[in-house]
Amino acid sequence: MTAAIKRTAISITLLGESTVGKTCINNVFLGIEFLEEHLTTVGLEKMNAVITIESGEKIKLKIWDTAGQERFRSISSNSLKSSQGAIVVFDLTNRETFEKVTDWLKQIREYSTKIVIGLFGNKSDLEGREVSQEEIDKLCQNEDLIYFETGAKNNTGIQEGFNKVASLAY
């Protein structure tokens, strides 16, 4: 991990393929009720929160929730330029979304060399897992990622994941 500069506010960009649950994760983190059905993110949505990081300090957190569709990639690139952290989300029940993680990592590193990157394997609360823990561990080791298994439906791993990425980015 790259050491980050201390600041009173940080930005984190959520990235990943469409339908992996980025918006659901973001909403649950912000205390918004989980909804089974919601509208697909178009472009970029920004939300703000004040959180207490591991050191006990309160910081302002700007979260950029990006659309996963290819046609919106340039918009997510813009948010990366000003972010200190990124969270790449994939769906544990959809192997193709895991295989696309390296593409998202390339995009992140193209626009920011000093960024903390977290990997969230989402939908751990659903049946039909298609990605093994061994594969995830290997990717995290090779790419220097911190990993959290999350489930937006039952609020698993989300708070811990955001807090860790924010603390390291701070």
pLDDT tens profile 108-145: 998 887 899 999 999 999 999 999 999 999 999 999 99
Q: Specify the residue for token string 């995830």.
A: 136
Q: Rounded CA gap, 23 and 63, in Å?
A: 11
Reported as a pLDDT band with limits 50, 70 and 90, residue 53 is confident
Which residue type does 22 have? K
First to last CA, the chain: 12
149 DSSP β-pair partners: 121
Give how far the C-alpha of residue 31 lies from the chain's centroid of Cα atoms, to the nearest Å: 16
**Mean pLDDT of all residues belonging to the chain:** 85
* pTM attached to this predicted model: 0.85
